[in-house]
Amino acid sequence: MSSSRPRRARALLAACAGLVACAGWLAAQRSYHGVQLPPESPWALLEPPGSGRPSEFVLARMAYTDRYADQDLEIRPWQIDTPAAERHFLQGLTRLSAIDARPNEAYVHPDDPDFPDHPFLYVVEAGHWDLTDSEVRNMREYLLRGGFIVFDDFHGSEEWEHFMGGMRRVFPELPIEDLPASDEVFHVLFDMENREQIPGAQMLLSGRPYERDGVVPHWRGIRDSDGRLMVLINHNMDLGDAWEHADWPEYPERYTAMSYRLAINYIIYAMTH
Protein backbone atom coordinates (compact mmCIF):
# COMPACT_ATOMS: atom_id res chain seq x y z
CA MET A 1 0.00 0.00 0.00
CA SER A 2 2.72 2.50 0.93
CA SER A 3 4.57 1.98 -2.40
CA SER A 4 1.40 2.72 -4.37
CA ARG A 5 0.92 6.14 -2.77
CA PRO A 6 3.92 7.78 -4.47
CA ARG A 7 2.71 6.42 -7.81
CA ARG A 8 -0.77 7.87 -7.26
CA ALA A 9 0.74 11.18 -6.18
CA ARG A 10 2.92 11.33 -9.29
CA ALA A 11 -0.08 10.50 -11.49
CA LEU A 12 -2.13 13.24 -9.84
CA LEU A 13 0.65 15.78 -10.30
CA ALA A 14 1.00 14.79 -13.96
CA ALA A 15 -2.73 15.21 -14.50
CA CYS A 16 -2.70 18.64 -12.87
CA ALA A 17 0.28 19.67 -14.96
CA GLY A 18 -1.57 18.57 -18.07
CA LEU A 19 -4.58 20.68 -17.13
CA VAL A 20 -2.40 23.71 -16.50
CA ALA A 21 -0.70 23.21 -19.85
CA CYS A 22 -4.08 22.84 -21.53
CA ALA A 23 -5.32 26.04 -19.91
CA GLY A 24 -2.22 27.87 -21.10
CA TRP A 25 -2.65 26.57 -24.63
CA LEU A 26 -6.29 27.63 -24.71
CA ALA A 27 -5.47 31.08 -23.40
CA ALA A 28 -2.80 31.45 -26.06
CA GLN A 29 -5.26 30.45 -28.80
CA ARG A 30 -8.01 32.88 -27.81
CA SER A 31 -7.18 36.20 -29.35
CA TYR A 32 -8.83 38.36 -31.97
CA HIS A 33 -6.71 40.72 -34.08
CA GLY A 34 -4.03 40.49 -31.44
CA VAL A 35 -6.38 41.26 -28.53
CA GLN A 36 -6.57 38.55 -25.88
CA LEU A 37 -10.04 37.19 -25.17
CA PRO A 38 -11.10 35.54 -21.90
CA PRO A 39 -9.80 31.95 -21.89
CA GLU A 40 -12.18 29.05 -22.19
CA SER A 41 -12.17 26.70 -19.22
CA PRO A 42 -10.17 23.54 -19.97
CA TRP A 43 -12.89 21.60 -18.16
CA ALA A 44 -15.18 22.29 -21.14
CA LEU A 45 -12.87 20.13 -23.25
CA LEU A 46 -12.84 17.15 -20.89
CA GLU A 47 -15.37 14.38 -21.32
CA PRO A 48 -18.22 15.12 -18.87
CA PRO A 49 -19.63 12.42 -16.59
CA GLY A 50 -22.12 10.25 -18.45
CA SER A 51 -20.59 10.82 -21.87
CA GLY A 52 -21.85 8.33 -24.43
CA ARG A 53 -24.71 7.04 -22.33
CA PRO A 54 -28.06 6.15 -23.94
CA SER A 55 -30.38 9.16 -23.72
CA GLU A 56 -33.52 10.72 -25.11
CA PHE A 57 -31.62 13.42 -27.00
CA VAL A 58 -28.14 13.66 -28.53
CA LEU A 59 -26.89 16.96 -29.94
CA ALA A 60 -25.17 16.03 -33.21
CA ARG A 61 -23.09 18.40 -35.31
CA MET A 62 -23.01 17.75 -39.04
CA ALA A 63 -19.69 17.62 -40.87
CA TYR A 64 -19.59 18.54 -44.54
CA THR A 65 -17.19 19.07 -47.42
CA ASP A 66 -16.00 22.68 -47.49
CA ARG A 67 -14.68 24.83 -50.32
CA TYR A 68 -11.15 24.74 -48.95
CA ALA A 69 -10.62 21.05 -49.62
CA ASP A 70 -7.23 21.79 -51.18
CA GLN A 71 -6.04 23.60 -48.05
CA ASP A 72 -4.68 21.99 -44.89
CA LEU A 73 -6.72 23.96 -42.35
CA GLU A 74 -6.11 23.61 -38.62
CA ILE A 75 -9.88 23.71 -38.09
CA ARG A 76 -12.47 22.99 -40.77
CA PRO A 77 -15.41 25.43 -40.94
CA TRP A 78 -17.88 22.86 -39.56
CA GLN A 79 -15.74 22.47 -36.41
CA ILE A 80 -15.90 26.09 -35.24
CA ASP A 81 -16.60 26.48 -31.46
CA THR A 82 -16.86 22.75 -30.79
CA PRO A 83 -16.92 21.11 -28.28
CA ALA A 84 -17.17 24.04 -25.87
CA ALA A 85 -20.40 25.40 -27.42
CA GLU A 86 -22.19 22.05 -27.16
CA ARG A 87 -20.91 21.26 -23.66
CA HIS A 88 -22.18 24.57 -22.28
CA PHE A 89 -25.51 24.35 -24.08
CA LEU A 90 -26.18 20.77 -22.99
CA GLN A 91 -25.75 21.80 -19.37
CA GLY A 92 -28.35 24.51 -19.91
CA LEU A 93 -30.69 22.15 -21.74
CA THR A 94 -30.66 19.83 -18.74
CA ARG A 95 -31.31 22.68 -16.31
CA LEU A 96 -34.04 24.43 -18.30
CA SER A 97 -36.03 21.46 -19.63
CA ALA A 98 -37.10 17.94 -18.75
CA ILE A 99 -35.29 16.51 -21.80
CA ASP A 100 -32.94 13.64 -20.99
CA ALA A 101 -29.92 14.91 -22.92
CA ARG A 102 -26.58 13.17 -23.25
CA PRO A 103 -23.94 15.52 -21.77
CA ASN A 104 -21.56 15.29 -24.72
CA GLU A 105 -21.92 16.01 -28.42
CA ALA A 106 -21.78 13.72 -31.45
CA TYR A 107 -20.45 14.28 -34.96
CA VAL A 108 -21.90 12.83 -38.13
CA HIS A 109 -21.37 13.22 -41.88
CA PRO A 110 -24.15 12.80 -44.48
CA ASP A 111 -22.26 9.87 -45.99
CA ASP A 112 -22.04 8.01 -42.65
CA PRO A 113 -24.21 4.90 -42.30
CA ASP A 114 -25.66 6.23 -39.02
CA PHE A 115 -26.58 9.65 -40.46
CA PRO A 116 -30.35 8.92 -40.32
CA ASP A 117 -30.02 7.94 -36.64
CA HIS A 118 -29.63 11.61 -35.60
CA PRO A 119 -33.03 13.33 -35.95
CA PHE A 120 -31.66 16.75 -34.90
CA LEU A 121 -28.53 18.24 -36.48
CA TYR A 122 -26.64 21.46 -35.81
CA VAL A 123 -24.59 22.99 -38.65
CA VAL A 124 -22.26 26.00 -38.51
CA GLU A 125 -20.49 28.09 -41.15
CA ALA A 126 -22.52 26.65 -44.04
CA GLY A 127 -21.57 29.72 -46.03
CA HIS A 128 -18.34 27.83 -46.65
CA TRP A 129 -19.68 24.43 -47.66
CA ASP A 130 -19.17 22.74 -51.02
CA LEU A 131 -21.47 19.73 -50.95
CA THR A 132 -20.76 16.60 -52.93
CA ASP A 133 -23.52 14.88 -54.88
CA SER A 134 -23.84 12.18 -52.23
CA GLU A 135 -24.07 14.76 -49.43
CA VAL A 136 -26.86 16.55 -51.32
CA ARG A 137 -28.72 13.30 -51.93
CA ASN A 138 -28.40 12.05 -48.34
CA MET A 139 -29.38 15.40 -46.79
CA ARG A 140 -32.51 15.56 -48.95
CA GLU A 141 -33.57 12.05 -48.03
CA TYR A 142 -32.80 12.64 -44.35
CA LEU A 143 -34.96 15.77 -44.19
CA LEU A 144 -37.88 14.36 -46.14
CA ARG A 145 -37.93 11.33 -43.85
CA GLY A 146 -38.40 13.50 -40.75
CA GLY A 147 -34.98 14.94 -39.93
CA PHE A 148 -34.42 18.49 -38.70
CA ILE A 149 -31.39 20.73 -39.31
CA VAL A 150 -30.52 24.05 -37.63
CA PHE A 151 -28.06 26.28 -39.49
CA ASP A 152 -26.11 28.86 -37.50
CA ASP A 153 -23.09 31.17 -37.53
CA PHE A 154 -22.83 32.42 -41.08
CA HIS A 155 -22.99 36.06 -42.01
CA GLY A 156 -23.49 38.53 -44.82
CA SER A 157 -24.65 38.40 -48.42
CA GLU A 158 -21.65 36.52 -49.83
CA GLU A 159 -21.96 33.64 -47.36
CA TRP A 160 -25.74 33.59 -47.85
CA GLU A 161 -25.35 33.14 -51.60
CA HIS A 162 -22.85 30.32 -51.11
CA PHE A 163 -25.16 28.67 -48.58
CA MET A 164 -28.06 28.98 -51.02
CA GLY A 165 -25.99 27.37 -53.75
CA GLY A 166 -25.97 24.21 -51.63
CA MET A 167 -29.59 24.41 -50.47
CA ARG A 168 -30.87 24.89 -54.03
CA ARG A 169 -29.24 21.60 -54.88
CA VAL A 170 -30.86 19.88 -51.87
CA PHE A 171 -34.33 21.39 -52.46
CA PRO A 172 -34.57 23.09 -55.86
CA GLU A 173 -38.36 23.00 -55.66
CA LEU A 174 -38.95 24.34 -52.13
CA PRO A 175 -38.99 27.99 -51.08
CA ILE A 176 -37.18 29.47 -48.10
CA GLU A 177 -39.51 31.62 -46.02
CA ASP A 178 -38.94 34.26 -43.37
CA LEU A 179 -40.39 33.07 -40.08
CA PRO A 180 -42.38 35.65 -38.09
CA ALA A 181 -42.09 35.84 -34.33
CA SER A 182 -45.59 34.35 -34.14
CA ASP A 183 -44.50 31.05 -35.75
CA GLU A 184 -45.11 27.95 -33.64
CA VAL A 185 -41.42 27.07 -33.43
CA PHE A 186 -40.80 30.16 -31.30
CA HIS A 187 -43.50 29.25 -28.76
CA VAL A 188 -43.36 25.50 -28.09
CA LEU A 189 -41.86 26.13 -24.62
CA PHE A 190 -40.54 29.69 -24.39
CA ASP A 191 -42.41 32.59 -25.97
CA MET A 192 -39.86 34.36 -28.13
CA GLU A 193 -41.84 37.33 -29.46
CA ASN A 194 -38.98 39.73 -28.76
CA ARG A 195 -36.18 38.29 -30.84
CA GLU A 196 -32.98 40.18 -31.49
CA GLN A 197 -29.70 39.58 -33.26
CA ILE A 198 -27.42 37.24 -31.30
CA PRO A 199 -23.81 38.32 -31.90
CA GLY A 200 -20.59 36.41 -31.77
CA ALA A 201 -17.77 37.23 -29.37
CA GLN A 202 -16.30 39.57 -32.00
CA MET A 203 -18.82 42.14 -30.72
CA LEU A 204 -16.68 42.55 -27.59
CA LEU A 205 -13.96 44.06 -29.74
CA SER A 206 -15.80 45.55 -32.71
CA GLY A 207 -18.72 47.01 -30.75
CA ARG A 208 -21.08 45.77 -33.49
CA PRO A 209 -23.62 42.93 -33.17
CA TYR A 210 -23.15 41.97 -36.84
CA GLU A 211 -20.35 40.69 -39.06
CA ARG A 212 -19.50 41.70 -42.65
CA ASP A 213 -22.62 43.23 -44.23
CA GLY A 214 -24.97 41.06 -42.16
CA VAL A 215 -26.63 43.96 -40.38
CA VAL A 216 -30.14 42.48 -40.31
CA PRO A 217 -30.79 39.14 -38.56
CA HIS A 218 -33.02 36.60 -40.29
CA TRP A 219 -34.89 33.56 -38.96
CA ARG A 220 -35.80 31.49 -42.00
CA GLY A 221 -37.10 28.02 -42.70
CA ILE A 222 -37.99 25.33 -45.22
CA ARG A 223 -41.13 23.21 -44.83
CA ASP A 224 -42.09 19.83 -46.22
CA SER A 225 -45.33 19.19 -48.08
CA ASP A 226 -47.20 18.77 -44.76
CA GLY A 227 -46.07 22.15 -43.46
CA ARG A 228 -43.50 20.75 -41.01
CA LEU A 229 -40.41 22.86 -40.58
CA MET A 230 -37.46 20.67 -41.44
CA VAL A 231 -34.78 23.36 -41.86
CA LEU A 232 -34.31 26.36 -39.57
CA ILE A 233 -31.80 29.02 -40.56
CA ASN A 234 -30.28 31.56 -38.19
CA HIS A 235 -28.58 33.99 -40.60
CA ASN A 236 -26.38 36.85 -39.38
CA MET A 237 -26.35 35.34 -35.89
CA ASP A 238 -24.12 33.15 -33.77
CA LEU A 239 -26.00 31.07 -31.22
CA GLY A 240 -22.94 28.84 -30.80
CA ASP A 241 -20.81 31.71 -29.52
CA ALA A 242 -23.55 32.70 -27.08
CA TRP A 243 -23.57 29.12 -25.75
CA GLU A 244 -19.81 28.87 -25.61
CA HIS A 245 -19.35 32.13 -23.73
CA ALA A 246 -22.20 31.68 -21.30
CA ASP A 247 -19.82 32.02 -18.35
CA TRP A 248 -17.90 35.04 -19.66
CA PRO A 249 -18.77 38.13 -17.58
CA GLU A 250 -17.83 40.19 -20.65
CA TYR A 251 -20.49 38.59 -22.90
CA PRO A 252 -24.02 40.02 -22.31
CA GLU A 253 -26.24 37.58 -20.46
CA ARG A 254 -29.36 38.46 -22.44
CA TYR A 255 -27.87 37.04 -25.62
CA THR A 256 -26.95 33.76 -23.98
CA ALA A 257 -30.41 33.49 -22.40
CA MET A 258 -32.07 34.07 -25.77
CA SER A 259 -29.81 31.61 -27.59
CA TYR A 260 -30.57 28.87 -25.05
CA ARG A 261 -34.32 29.44 -25.24
CA LEU A 262 -34.38 29.53 -29.02
CA ALA A 263 -32.39 26.31 -29.30
CA ILE A 264 -34.55 24.51 -26.73
CA ASN A 265 -37.65 25.53 -28.68
CA TYR A 266 -36.05 24.17 -31.86
CA ILE A 267 -35.25 20.86 -30.18
CA ILE A 268 -38.73 20.41 -28.71
CA TYR A 269 -40.30 21.28 -32.05
CA ALA A 270 -38.10 18.74 -33.82
CA MET A 271 -38.92 16.05 -31.25
CA THR A 272 -42.68 16.62 -31.49
CA HIS A 273 -43.27 17.22 -35.21
The pLDDT value recorded for residue 23 is 37
151: nearest Cα among 206, 141, 75, 162: 162
* The total number of structural domains that make up the chain: 2
Residues 6+ apart with CB under 8 A from 212: 155, 156, 157, 158, 159
Three-state secondary structure call for residue 11: helix
Domain housing 8 = 1-39
| Co-location of 68 and 22 in the same domain | no
Is 45 a domain residue? no
Integer CA distances (angstroms), 100 to 53, 90, 184, 272, in order: 11, 10, 23, 15
- What CATH number is given to the structural domain containing 226? 3.40.50.12140
The pLDDT value recorded for residue 226 is 97
DSSP letter assigned to residue 56:
S
| Co-location of 30 and 128 in the same domain | no
| Co-location of 118 and 226 in the same domain | yes
Instruction: Work out the end-to-end distance of the chain between its first and last CA atoms, rounded to an integer number of angstroms.
Output: 58
pLDDT digit string (tens) for the chain, length 273 residues: 444 444 443 443 344 444 333 333 333 344 444 545 555 666 566 888 999 899 999 999 999 999 998 999 888 999 999 999 999 999 999 999 999 999 999 999 999 999 999 999 999 999 999 999 999 999 999 999 999 999 999 999 999 999 999 999 999 999 999 999 999 999 999 999 999 999 999 998 899 999 999 999 999 999 999 999 999 999 999 999 999 999 888 999 999 999 999 999 999 999 999
The pLDDT value recorded for residue 29 is 44
261: nearest Cα among 188, 201, 204: 188
Is 237 a domain residue? yes
The pLDDT value recorded for residue 13 is 37
| Co-location of 74 and 120 in the same domain | yes
The pLDDT value recorded for residue 45 is 67
